[in-house]
Amino acid sequence: MDGQPYQMRPWDELLGQAIEVKKYDDHCLARIGKISVILPLGLATRLEEAICQQVGVLRTDNDYRFRLIREDMKGC
């Protein structure tokens, strides 16, 4: 994952294909579509299970919301 990762602000939403997830001590670094983003470690497992699938991550004022948009992605 090259470049500076994006840090989501409240009410940002990121949509795209889950490509890669790396876990660190207190956060995870995920690549969703063409964007590398810093996310809470608690989302790592859900993102790992959704590799090659279309996902959405919404940051609210209090937490992050994850949704699986489409499961039938091919060619990851």
Domain boundaries along the sequence of the chain: 6-70
- According to the model, what pLDDT value does residue 3 have? 77
- According to the model, what pLDDT value does residue 76 have? 67
CB 39 within 8 Å of CB 12: no
Token output for 48: 């790992």
pLDDT for residue 32 is more than 90? yes
Pairwise CA distance, residues 29 & 41, whole Å: 9
Instruction: State the chain's mean pLDDT as an integer.
Output: 92
The model carries a pTM of 0.86
**Residue 51 CA to its chain's centroid (Å):** 10
Does 6-70 carry CATH code 2.60.40? no
Pairwise CA distance, residues 25 & 54, whole Å: 26
Question: What's the pLDDT band for 70 if we cut at 50, 70, 90?
Answer: confident
- According to the model, what pLDDT value does residue 62 have? 95
pLDDT for residue 75 is more than 70? no
